[in-house]
Amino acid sequence: MVVVTGQGKGSATPDDAMSSSDAEDDFQEPATPTATQAGQALPLLPQQFPEVVPLNVGGMFFTTRLSTLRRYEDTMLAAMFSGRHYIPTDAEGRYFIDRDGTYFGDILNFLRSGDLPPRERVRSVYKEAQYYSIGPLLDNLEDIQPLKGEKVRQAFLGLMPYYKDHLERIIEIAKLRAMQRKARFAKLKVCVFKEEMPITPYECPHFNSLRFERSESETKLFEHHCEVDVSFGPWEAVADVYDLLHCIVTDLSARGITVDHQCIGVCDKHLINHYYCKRPIYEFKITWW
């Protein structure tokens, strides 16, 4: 007689085909969802804003209507306060925008009633309008000074594709020379010329005819580089050498660089026959402190 010894239900081994853990899988309570799972399963509801909105812009406080912030639908402010995005609040419950609030009042004044800032703040407000993507304000600011004049100036500077590179070269050379000499200032020579072909004063009346009659080989005889650190030109526009000098000084000053300049003569290099280079040479003095 064969006796078979079996195990009870309570002593089932993990290797059994149907273990107790397998049998209970369908009856286990769901685990607590993680933050990621909760975010996927339960998206945040649209944020609700009051009709009167308190704001904290970089530590400066403002209060305005919700409709003012939504005045132009294609702006960043309209998108921020559309309810589709979460805006954090400070300890007092003000909606926080992490941006310098110095000119935010000018932004609000335009959204409220179309008011434009005084001239001395136009450039700064323009930058803020760019950040908040307020197209109507940008258009209005571009039509008044000083931005209207700046558009004209940039159109002129667009004739010289290496203008910004030349400015950087002036700064770099002046810095290097001052450091080498352990000096407070540095000087460098800059050539600014409008006409492509150098001429002598006596040839001015015949310049146009002479230029077009020259062959390609003759033209190459007039090609040379003046012995200067940086050279601007030529260009074709009504604006003259003094206009370009004003642009150079203005743009260097805008970067906090103190610059003085004076004409110290002309290149005066002999080219061929009675032709001499008469491009003006200017001495730039860059003071560092």
Residue 179 belongs to a domain: yes
pLDDT greater at residue 223 or residue 189: 189
pLDDT of residue 146 exceeding 50, the answer is yes
Instruction: Give mean pLDDT, residues 152-174.
Output: 94
Residue 94 belongs to a domain: yes
Instruction: Give mean pLDDT, residues 225-240.
Output: 90
pLDDT confidence band for 19 (50 / 70 / 90): very low
pLDDT confidence band for 271 (50 / 70 / 90): confident
pLDDT confidence band for 196 (50 / 70 / 90): low
Regarding whether 187 and 90 lie in a shared domain, the answer is no
Residue 216 belongs to a domain: no
Instruction: Give mean pLDDT, residues 186-193.
Output: 94
Token look-up 């010289």 returns 160
Regarding whether 178 and 111 lie in a shared domain, the answer is no
- Tally of domains within the chain: 2
Pairing outcome for strands 230-232 and 185-192: parallel
pLDDT of residue 173 exceeding 60, the answer is yes
> For the segment 111-128, what is each residue's pLDDT rounded down to a tens digit?
999 999 999 999 999 999
Share of the chain above pLDDT 70, in %: 74
Mean pLDDT of the chain: 82
Query: What's residue 29's pLDDT?
Result: 45
Residue 91 sits in a domain of what CATH number? 3.30.710.10
Residue 42 belongs to a domain: no
Residues 6+ apart with CB under 8 A from 124: 102, 103
Query: What's residue 218's pLDDT?
Result: 56
Residue 198: name the closest of 234, 160, 162, 157 by CA. Answer: 234
Beta strands in the chain (DSSP E): 52-57, 60-65, 95-97, 185-192, 230-232, 258-266, 270-272, 275-276, 280-287
Instruction: Give mean pLDDT, residues 151-179.
Output: 94
Regarding whether 258 and 137 lie in a shared domain, the answer is no
Residue 32 belongs to a domain: no
pLDDT of residue 157 exceeding 50, the answer is yes
Regarding whether 191 and 135 lie in a shared domain, the answer is no
Structural domain boundaries enclosing 68: 52-144
Regarding whether 279 and 179 lie in a shared domain, the answer is yes
Regarding whether 140 and 73 lie in a shared domain, the answer is yes
